[in-house]
């Protein structure tokens, strides 16, 4: 029964006009914003939701109207008439996308940056913005961004007058680049780290989707998820450090799809030198590394990653291994003995809160059991394409996020985005298989095929029949 309902629902969705799909995602986004207003305890999140609710409702209502118009026109059109193929980016659809993009992402981002400059900085930016900016300012002065540590159970090298956790830098060195503008003699509204986060994100996403070989509608959905829906809009407006990492990972997988393992490895190296959250996909991407002839080429990808990540990360680790490990490994996992703001009530955090004795044992158990299951999966069903790698990485990240002792809801964008990319790449794989079948069935000389078919319709002795 459940399978039958699922099939009927799938059949119904496949008959939707593109705008009807937009109406659903914008309506769900508006529902998310409404729930954030009444449920979230974070004032900054509620500010974003208040600004984004109206644009999402307007985009949803407009999409419903356009979808209804197209469907009605299709029913009224004579069956003998030839229907025009729908364009994925009709003018009304573009306008509604821009309404959502500006209303839910760019305008809230601009307002939060301005309000942070004019008033209470802590009330208009997530802690990671200040942390990245402080690291950039230290790097600009020639100092090590990794300075906070824990010795004998007590934090040391803490910035006076600020929360303890803001002295720790839980990112890899390349993330510091986004904080460098804050040390410049320029207007604060231009040097806010979120401006750089958003700019790199948009550029990487647009480049990736321009290069991607995938159905147009799947690319449109991916663009919405990575720019205008709450999966991107909330993060870019309030914090945003994960978004450039996600965008670069998408670009790397697109380059892998286009069988450019060296370039894919370089982009993976850039993302991997920013944040450890890029590493699961970066490792699994090796299974999708292919050269132009289709042969596996993981070495090229590894060399690309090592050429970037190695020279960036190694010097900081060699300079002070203890401080580096405390900042980028122990503190994010909640194992440094210092309270982290990343404490969303997900299963892992709830378990260690109820049973503190599991604080160190849980990450080890998840790593061992999850690693064993992953190895078993890789042996039995080795991923061979960007679609399979993205889907598997989505499951790996989902389990890791759910059971980490210190994590936050925002990290769920990783599995969500990976699953969206998997769907996009699967559509491309289906198109490639169809092209391969047609190439085998249809002769290379199609003009000769047409002439043969026309001649087959001629009556004996009818010389001009082939041209009627």
**Cα→Cα distances 143→161, 316, 399, Å:** 20, 11, 36
Q: What is residue 210's predicted lDDT score, i.e. its pLDDT? A: 95
Q: What is residue 437's predicted lDDT score, i.e. its pLDDT? A: 61
Q: What is residue 153's predicted lDDT score, i.e. its pLDDT? A: 62
- Report, as an integer, the average pLDDT of 92-115: 95
Does the structure show a pLDDT above 50 at 86?
A: no
Sequence-ordered list of residues with C-beta below 8 angstroms from that of 226, at least 6 positions apart, any chain: 201, 205, 232, 243, 246, 247, 250, 417
User: Pick the residue with more confidence: 97 or 154?
Assistant: 97
| pLDDT tier for residue 364 given thresholds of 50, 70 and 90 | confident
Domain chopping of the chain, boundaries: 1-79+88-124, 125-456
- Report, as an integer, the average pLDDT of 410-418: 93
Average the pLDDT over each of 59-68, 244-253, 305-314, 446-455 and give the range with the smallest value.
Answer: 446-455
Q: What is residue 74's predicted lDDT score, i.e. its pLDDT? A: 60
Q: How far apart are CA 103 and CA 112, in angstroms?
A: 13
What's the pTM? 0.85
Q: Do residues 435 and 441 lie in contact, with contact meaning Cβ atoms separated by under 8 Å? A: no
Q: How far apart are CA 169 and CA 326, in angstroms?
A: 9
Does the structure show a pLDDT above 60 at 395?
A: yes
User: Pick the residue with more confidence: 10 or 165?
Assistant: 165
- Report, as an integer, the average pLDDT of 44-54: 95
Highest mean pLDDT among 121-135, 223-237, 392-406: 223-237
- Report, as an integer, the average pLDDT of 344-359: 74
Does the structure show a pLDDT above 80 at 429?
A: no
Residues present in the chain in total: 468
User: Pick the residue with more confidence: 99 or 19?
Assistant: 99
User: Pick the residue with more confidence: 108 or 445?
Assistant: 108
Neighbours of 195 (CB within 10 A): 18
CA-based radius of gyration for the chain? 26
User: Pick the residue with more confidence: 337 or 83?
Assistant: 337
- Report, as an integer, the average pLDDT of 330-349: 71
Mean pLDDT of the chain: 83
Q: What is residue 408's predicted lDDT score, i.e. its pLDDT? A: 75
Q: What is residue 70's predicted lDDT score, i.e. its pLDDT? A: 77
Sequence-ordered list of residues with C-beta below 8 angstroms from that of 181, at least 6 positions apart, any chain: 136, 190, 191, 193, 195, 196
User: Pick the residue with more confidence: 59 or 73?
Assistant: 59
Highest mean pLDDT among 124-128, 264-268, 295-299, 377-381: 264-268
User: Pick the residue with more confidence: 136 or 436?
Assistant: 136
Percent over 70 (pLDDT), the chain: 79
Highest mean pLDDT among 141-155, 340-354, 369-383, 427-441: 369-383
Q: How far apart are CA 447 and CA 314, in angstroms?
A: 60
- Report, as an integer, the average pLDDT of 416-443: 75
Q: What is residue 122's predicted lDDT score, i.e. its pLDDT? A: 65
Q: What is residue 256's predicted lDDT score, i.e. its pLDDT? A: 96
Q: What is residue 455's predicted lDDT score, i.e. its pLDDT? A: 54
Does the structure show a pLDDT above 90 at 245?
A: yes
What is the tens place of the pLDDT at every residue in 224-239? 999 999 999 999 999 8
* Adjacent-strand bridge partners of 290: 296
| pLDDT tier for residue 461 given thresholds of 50, 70 and 90 | very low
Q: What is residue 91's predicted lDDT score, i.e. its pLDDT? A: 87
Does the structure show a pLDDT above 70 at 459?
A: no
- Report, as an integer, the average pLDDT of 153-165: 67
Q: How far apart are CA 259 and CA 142, in angstroms?
A: 40
Average the pLDDT over each of 75-89, 160-174, 283-297, 303-317 and give the range with the smallest value.
Answer: 75-89
Q: What is residue 423's predicted lDDT score, i.e. its pLDDT? A: 93
Does the structure show a pLDDT above 90 at 308?
A: yes
Average the pLDDT over each of 9-13, 295-299, 332-336 and give the range with the smallest value.
Answer: 9-13
Q: What is residue 83's predicted lDDT score, i.e. its pLDDT? A: 47
**Cα dihedral value 280, 284, 288, 289, nearest 10:** 80
- Report, as an integer, the average pLDDT of 99-112: 96
Neighbours of 234 (CB within 10 A): 26
Average the pLDDT over each of 16-20, 348-352, 394-398, 449-453 and give the range with the smallest value.
Answer: 449-453
Q: What is residue 179's predicted lDDT score, i.e. its pLDDT? A: 93
């Amino acid at each position: 029964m459940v399978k039958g309902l699922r099939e009927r629902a799938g059949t119904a969705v496949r008959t939707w006009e593109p705008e009807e799909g937009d109406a659903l995602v914008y309506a769900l986004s508006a529902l998310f914003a409404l729930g954030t207003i009444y449920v979230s305890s974070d004032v900054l999140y509620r500010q974003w939701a208040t600004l984004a609710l109206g644009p999402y409702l307007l985009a949803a209502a407009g999409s419903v109207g356009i979808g209804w118009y197209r469907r009605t026109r299709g029913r009224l059109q004579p069956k003998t008439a030839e229907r025009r193929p729908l364009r994925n980016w009709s003018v009304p659809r573009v306008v509604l996308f821009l309404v959502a993009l500006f209303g839910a992402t760019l305008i809230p981002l601009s307002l939060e940056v301005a309000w942070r400059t004019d008033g209470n900085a802590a009330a208009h930016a997530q802690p990671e913005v200040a942390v990245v900016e402080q690291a950039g300012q230290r790097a600009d002065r020639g100092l090590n961004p990794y300075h906070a540590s824990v010795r004998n159970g007590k934090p040391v090298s803490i910035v006076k007058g600020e929360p303890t956790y803001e002295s720790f830098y839980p990112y890899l060195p390349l993330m510091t680049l986004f904080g460098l503008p804050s040390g410049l003699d320029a207007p604060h509204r231009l040097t806010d780290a979120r401006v750089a986060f958003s700019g790199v994100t948009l550029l990487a996403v647009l480049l990736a989707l321009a290069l991607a070989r995938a159905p147009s509608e799947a690319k449109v959905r991916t663009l919405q998820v990575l720019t205008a829906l709450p999966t991107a809009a909330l993060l870019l407006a309030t914090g945003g450090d994960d978004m450039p990492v996600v965008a670069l990972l998408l670009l790397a997988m697109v380059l892998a799809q286009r069988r450019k393992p060296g370039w894919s490895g370089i982009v993976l190296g850039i993302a991997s030198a920013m944040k450890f959250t890029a590493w699961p996909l970066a490792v699994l991407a090796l299974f999708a590394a292919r050269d132009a002839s289709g042969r596996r080429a993981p070495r090229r990808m590894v060399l690309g990653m090592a050429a970037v990540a190695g020279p960036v990360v190694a010097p900081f680790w060699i300079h002070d291994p203890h401080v580096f490990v405390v900042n980028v490994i122990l503190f994010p996992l909640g194992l440094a003995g210092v309270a982290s703001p990343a404490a969303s009530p997900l299963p892992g955090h709830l378990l260690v809160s109820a049973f503190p004795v599991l604080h160190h044992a849980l990450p080890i158990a998840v790593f061992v059991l999850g690693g064993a299951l992953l190895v078993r999966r890789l042996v039995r069903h080795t991923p061979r394409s960007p679609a399979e790698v993205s889907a598997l990485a989505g499951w790996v990240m989902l389990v890791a996020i759910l059971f980490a002792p210190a994590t936050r809801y925002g990290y769920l964008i990783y599995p969500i985005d990976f699953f969206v990319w998997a769907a996009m790449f699967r559509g491309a794989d289906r198109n490639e298989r169809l092209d391969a079948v047609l190439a085998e069935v249809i002769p290379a000389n199609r003009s000769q095929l047409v002439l043969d078919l026309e001649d087959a319709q001629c009556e004996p002795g009818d010389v001009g029949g082939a041209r009627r």
